[in-house]
Amino acid sequence: MQKTTVTQPVRSIDLHVHTDYSDGTLSPAQVVEYSIAQGLAAIAITDHDSVEAIPPALAAAVGRSVEVIPGIELSADDQGREIHILGLLIEWRSPLLQERLAALRAARRARILEMISRLNRRGIALNADDVLQLSSGDASLGRLHVARALCCRGIVGSIPEAFTRFIGSKGPCYVPHAAFSAQEAIALVRAVDGIPVLAHPGISLCDELISQMVVDGLRGIEIMHSEHSVQAQLRYTDIARAQGLLFSGGSDCHGTGKGAPRIGSVRVPYEYLEAMKRAKETGCRLHAP
Ligand code: AMP
Ligand code: FE
Ligand code: FE
Ligand code: ZN
Q: Which atom of ligand 1 is nearest to the CA of 111?
A: 3
Task: Give the contacts of 23 (CB within 8 A, at least 6 positions apart).
Answer: 48, 140, 141, 142, 143, 144, 145, 254, 257
91 band by pLDDT with thresholds 50, 70 and 90: very high
Task: Give the contacts of 148 (CB within 8 A, at least 6 positions apart).
Answer: 134, 159, 257
Question: What global pTM score does this model have?
Answer: 0.93
Residue located nearest, by CA, to atom 20 of ligand 1: 160
Q: Which atom of ligand 1 is nearest to the CA of 18?
A: 10
- Please write the tens of the pLDDT for every residue from 38-58: 999 999 999 999 999 999 999
- Please write the tens of the pLDDT for every residue from 124-177: 999 999 999 999 878 999 999 999 999 999 999 999 999 999 999 999 999 999
| Ligand 1 pocket residue status of 76, Cβ below 6 Å | no
| Ligand 1 pocket residue status of 166, Cβ below 6 Å | no
Q: What pLDDT was estimated at residue 289?
A: 32
> C-alpha distances in angstroms, 9 versus 6, 15, 41, 65, 68?
9, 19, 11, 14, 20
Q: What pLDDT was estimated at residue 125?
A: 94
What's at 165, amino acid-wise?
A: R
Alpha helix locations (H) across the chain?
28-37, 54-60, 95-121, 128-132, 143-152, 159-162, 182-191, 201-204, 210-216, 230-243, 270-281
Q: Which ligand is nearest to the CA of 150?
A: 1
- Please write the tens of the pLDDT for every residue from 230-265: 999 999 999 999 999 999 999 999 998 667 899 999
Residue 100 has pLDDT above 70, yes or no: yes
Q: What is the mean pLDDT of the chain?
A: 93
Centre of ligand 1 to C-alpha 163, Å, is 8
| Ligand 1 pocket residue status of 23, Cβ below 6 Å | yes
* Domains, the chain, with CATH or none: 12-282 (3.20.20.140)
Q: What pLDDT was estimated at residue 257?
A: 64
Residue 284 has pLDDT above 60, yes or no: no
Q: Which atom of ligand 1 is nearest to the CA of 82?
A: 4
Centre of ligand 1 to C-alpha 2, Å, is 55
Q: What pLDDT was estimated at residue 5?
A: 61
- Please write the tens of the pLDDT for every residue from 182-227: 999 999 999 999 999 999 999 999 999 999 999 999 999 999 999 9
Q: What pLDDT was estimated at residue 287?
A: 39
Distance separating alpha carbons of residues 23 and 225, to the nearest angstrom: 18
Centre of ligand 3 to C-alpha 199, Å, is 6
| Ligand 1 pocket residue status of 171, Cβ below 6 Å | no
Centre of ligand 1 to C-alpha 91, Å, is 26
> C-alpha distances in angstroms, 10 versus 7, 16, 154, 228, 270?
9, 19, 44, 22, 8
